[in-house]
Each structure stands twice: as structure tokens, then as C-alpha cells.
Amino acid sequence: MPEFDVVGVGLNATDTLLVVPHFPAYAGKVPFQDEIVSPGGQVASAMVACAHLGLRTKYIGAVGDDERGRIQMESLSGTGINLDHVQLRRNCPNQSAYIIIDRSTGERTVLWRRDDCLRIDPGQIAPEQITCARMLHIDGHDTAAVAHAAAVARRHGIPVTVDVDTIYHGFDHVLPNVDYLIASSEFPANWTGIGDPFLALETLQNQYGMKVAAMTLGAHGSLAREGGRFYYSPAYVVNCVDTTGAGDVFHGGFCYAVLQGLPMHQALEFSNAMAALNCTALGARGGIRGLEEIRSLMARAERRSQPDFARRAAASLGC
């Protein structure tokens, strides 16, 4: 039996959150109400979500040796995640972001930086670091490294999930080895040149042969294509404090759902609920919750549906 349920290869970041009463107009000025240093990053946060759900989790990434790197490592060390192959980079600042949060809506604007000294070398990822797990989760930033990890996983029959929000050079070498593509709402159109999200997902799936092609839709939920059918899951309505990290936590929930063998519609519902709960607190990981609270939200919460998505997905299911 593999030692871990899921291994993640990709980004971490240490964020500075600036909470403002409302986002200022261009060239405007507004006082901020709170300043909070908070750990985040796409794959690292997804792995924290997996650990909260009881999965045996391993993280592979690069961390700087500055104060932000120390904060990141300290945050991960308390989660039970295996960090044996996190690469500490000397004289290198950790990835950082300044995130302006509009208190009136919970929406955020991100300014980020990642120095080249944090780039993950694929040669430092041995096959046994991937084959020790039942699933691999990646992002798209260090394309050569994640392409290598995904190829190892494919050779050993390990399913690969990917979180991608923009086009990365060389990402066409990653996609053939992906089983579960969960993209941002912009990526499918940007990659395929097709504005219709249903057709864009279908095109991606047909071109690369992944089992599931999906996208997160923010306040409107998520959409996935599997087995020639579309599944749409409306968003859960919560008191939104901060949307930072919602997509990362969605991916952690989705990894859990797949490993539990949940049908696609249930996997999307579960992941949406986990992401919604994360939005009820400040920070990329501030609202990560466990199974009991996720199921409670799923049982009682109001939903926010996008009518056209719901109609077209239902038609594909013959409803």
C-alpha cells in the first residue's frame, strides 16, 4: 500500500493581506483596516486542505530562507504533512503576495512575486517521491518539474490532478498526462481560443484525453465534463469575508472526493462546499474545515446557480 494518499508538487507563498473598506478607484487612496501575514500558495494550500480531511499527505516545493519562508514552513509543520522533500533555498526570498481584500464583497486583488531561485529542478524529484502516493496534484508554474512528475505518475498508473489558472510555456507537455483538469474560468477559453466554456472543455478533453475536464466558476460554482456529459454544481451562499485561496481549497476537496470514489456531481458539491467555507475567514487557509462542517453546509446552505450552465448541463444528462 502506498505510504501517502496524495503528493503535491508546486507553489507555496506567504501573503500579506491588506483589508480595505472598499477597493479604491484608479489612482485613488483608501485607508486599510487590517494587515495580516498569512501562508498560502496553490499546491501547498491544497495539501493543507487534504490533511484537514484526514488524508496522508506529502508536499514537494521550494521555500526561501527569509522570514516569509520561515512562516511558510512553520505553518506546514503543524499540519502533519510530510515535508521531507521540500527544498530550502539559501539566500532566496520566498514567494510573496500582497493581497488587497475588499471588505464589502470579500473579493481580492493579488500582487505577487516569485524569484527564479525558487524554480523546482525536475532532476531533484526522484520517481519514488511520486510513486509513494495514490494521487499526484500539481499546478502549472514550474512546468518542467510538474511535467516530469506527471509523466512518472502516468507510467505507474497514478492519477494526476492539476490546478491551472493561466497559460504556461511548455504546458502542452503536462496535459497529456493529466487525468483531472480543474482550471480557472479563464484558462479553457485562453488555451483553446473558444469562448463557449462547454465547447472549450470538450475540446480540451478530446485533444488530451483526460478523464475529467473541469473549471471553477467563482460565485457560480463549478462545471465538469466526464464520460461525454456535463455536470454543473451551483455555489453555496455564505457570508464571504475573503475569496483568497478558495480555488486551492476546492482542489484539496476534489482530491479527497476522487480518492473516496465519489461520483462526479457529488465530488463537485463537496469541493464547492469546502471552498465556500474557506471564504468565511481571512487568508488562503483561514476557513479550511473538516468533514462535519462541510457536510453540514451541504445539507442546509442556500445555492447560487447560473441558469444557462444548469440548463445546458441538465440537457447533456438527458434531464
Q: What is the pTM of this model?
A: 0.96
All structural domains of the chain, each given as residue ranges with its CATH number in brackets, are 4-12+43-92+126-316 (3.40.1190.20)
Give the mean pLDDT of 135-152: 97
Using pLDDT thresholds of 50, 70 and 90, give the confidence band for residue 319: low
On average, the pLDDT of the chain sits at 96
Q: Which of 288, 290, 284 is nearest to 72 (CA)?
A: 284
pLDDT for the residue 63: 98
Amino acid sitting at position 274: M
In angstroms, the CA 141 to CA 147 distance is 10
Which tens digit of pLDDT belongs to each residue from 205-226?
A: 999 999 999 999 999 999 999 9
Give the mean pLDDT of 137-160: 98
Question: Cα(first)–Cα(last) distance of the chain, in Å?
Answer: 40
Which tens digit of pLDDT belongs to each residue from 32-76?
A: 999 999 999 999 999 999 999 999 999 999 999 999 999 999 999
